[in-house]
Amino acid sequence: ERTQVAIIGAGPAGLLLGRMLELAGVDAVILEHRTRAYVEGRIRAGMLEDRTARLLDELGLADRMNREAAVHHAFEMRFDRQRYRIPMAELTGGCTAVMYSQQEIVRDAIEARVASGLPLEFDVDDVRLDGVDTDTPTVRYRAADGTEHVLACDFIAGCDGFHGVSRTSIPAGVLTSYEHDYPFAWLGVLADVPPSTFELIYACHERGFALHSMRSSEVSRFYLQVPPDEDLAAWPEDRIWSELRTRLGTDDGWTLAEGTVTKKSITAMRSFVVEPMQYGRLFLAGDAAHIVPPTAAKGLNLAAADVRLLADALCTWYESGDDAALDRYSGDALRGVWRAQQFSRSMTSLLHHDPSSPMEWRLQHAELKHVCTSESAMKNFCENYVGYPPVGRI
């Protein structure tokens, strides 16, 4: 068995890369460890930067998004029971945010690939990468029906997330990793209730951060800062609603509509980067190479940015045999990654409460007031929040 590019993982990174290669006429096989139902049901991010939404459009994957997704021009910040509207589009020459959830992108991309009749295997096991430092790498795996396969290829794209095999297949000593853990986690809640707001609300409260987001006119999404080792059982519905009311509360009579909680989960927060994002013929993209704390909603957008660079570099190689673009991939991707890491960390520190640091809490308030009242500070914040200039212009 042979293909040009073996893609490990059918998350956003692997699926979007597969689509870009398809449109460029490069063969690829996508291998996914989980079942189709599992990856389509996995609830994660929900906010797309303009450039990510435009990429989906270019790839012909945006029909449903353009019909169903809300486009946001502003968001709200709350602290000290006051609210501040931040007009991000006005401050960034028109950059908006598109609310369309990750598992819908995954569903649309899988549907398109299946419709094209291209190889995408779910439920594969025991994926092993060999000869990555040669010109003839191979991927061994066990298919869903139990048969063993050896797939020869020119390149391997490691799009298998933080817990995947790609990064860990690289010999010790090749990669340098950078890591920071935060003293909090997020409780993510999905509820059957119309959002109590048209725009996202980021709230900084003494009891911890809260975010009011949405998935549709009927479904709301919330996040609450909780301790890192928190037990999900400690959060019955009543406690969730009471905590959201407290943290999001304002003095101007705003009220929170409550409904039925349909899903809840806890996510640890960390910053993580490996350098370089390449070893021989293996290229890492998305969460396989980096994790951001979720506050600024950059994870999914970074995964899309990585695979755009990688697809361009691979296509250049197939067109001309020139590997200069492939050699540049890691450096180009990492510039955007570190920019997003820096902003994700600063937005996380700005909005969460670490009770062990009273001095920090005072400083956060000083900065929050500055960001919400000074036009230049607000503009700077928004430029980071809406995304970054395309790599090359950084």
Binding mask 47-86 for ligand DHB (x = CB under 6 A): x---------------------------------------
Catalytic residue, from 290, 298, 352, 353: name it: 298
Contact present, 56 and 46 (Cβ < 8 Å): no
Quick check: 282 binds ligand FAD (CB under 6 A)? Answer: no
Selection from ligand DHB, ligand FAD, none that 213 binds (CB < 5 to 8 A by kind) is ligand DHB
Closest by CA position to 54, among listed 65, 40, 43: 65
Report the distance separating Cα 331 and Cα 278, nearest Å. 10
* DSSP annotation of 218: S
Strand bridging mode 97-99 / 70-72: antiparallel
Nearer to ligand FAD, 225 or 361 (CB): 225
**Structure tokens of 91?**
């401050």
User: Which of the residues 24 through 53 are near ligand FAD (CB under 6 A)?
Assistant: 31-34, 39, 44-45
Angle (CA) 40-45-51 rounded to 5° is 105
The values of phi and psi at residue 292, to 5°, are -110, 150
Contact present, 262 and 221 (Cβ < 8 Å): no
The values of phi and psi at residue 168, to 5°, are -75, -10
Told to judge if 369 belongs to the known catalytic residues of this protein, a careful annotator would answer: no
Quick check: 336 binds ligand FAD (CB under 6 A)? Answer: no
Strand bridging mode 5-8 / 120-121: unpaired
CB of 51 to ligand DHB, least distance (A): 16
Quick check: 210 binds ligand FAD (CB under 6 A)? Answer: no
Member of 18, 46, 137, 276 binding ligand DHB (CB under 6 A): 46
Member of 213, 271, 341, 364 binding ligand DHB (CB under 6 A): 213
Selection from ligand FAD, ligand DHB, none that 159 binds (CB < 5 to 8 A by kind) is ligand FAD
Told to judge if 194 belongs to the known catalytic residues of this protein, a careful annotator would answer: no
Nearer to ligand DHB, 216 or 250 (CB): 216
Which residue's CB atom is positioned nearest to ligand DHB? 46
Quick check: 149 binds ligand FAD (CB under 6 A)? Answer: no
Quick check: 10 binds ligand FAD (CB under 6 A)? Answer: yes
Quick check: 299 binds ligand FAD (CB under 6 A)? Answer: yes
What's the helix, strand, coil split of the chain in %, to 5?
40, 25, 35
List helix spans (H) across the chain.
12-24, 36-41, 50-58, 63-68, 88-91, 102-116, 237-248, 299-320, 324-351, 358-373, 375-386
Report the distance separating Cα 243 and Cα 140, nearest Å. 49
Told to judge if 202 belongs to the known catalytic residues of this protein, a careful annotator would answer: yes
Contact present, 32 and 282 (Cβ < 8 Å): no
Kindly report whether the peptide bond that precedes residue 87 is cis, defined as omega within 30 degrees of 0. no
SS3 282: strand
Task: Candidates 11-19, 54-62, 86-94, 143-151: pick the segment binding ligand FAD (CB under 6 A).
Answer: 11-19
Catalytic residue, from 293, 294, 329, 353: name it: 294
Contact present, 205 and 246 (Cβ < 8 Å): yes
Task: Candidates 115-123, 140-148, 294-302, 303-311: pick the segment binding ligand DHB (CB under 6 A).
Answer: 294-302
Catalytic residue, from 202, 223, 279, 388: name it: 202
Selection from ligand FAD, ligand DHB, none that 221 binds (CB < 5 to 8 A by kind) is ligand DHB
Interface with ligand DHB (CB under 6 A): 45-47, 200, 211, 213, 221, 294-297
Residues in contact with ligand FAD by CB under 6 A are 8-14, 31-34, 39, 44-45, 102, 127, 159-161, 163-165, 267, 286-287, 294, 297-300, 303
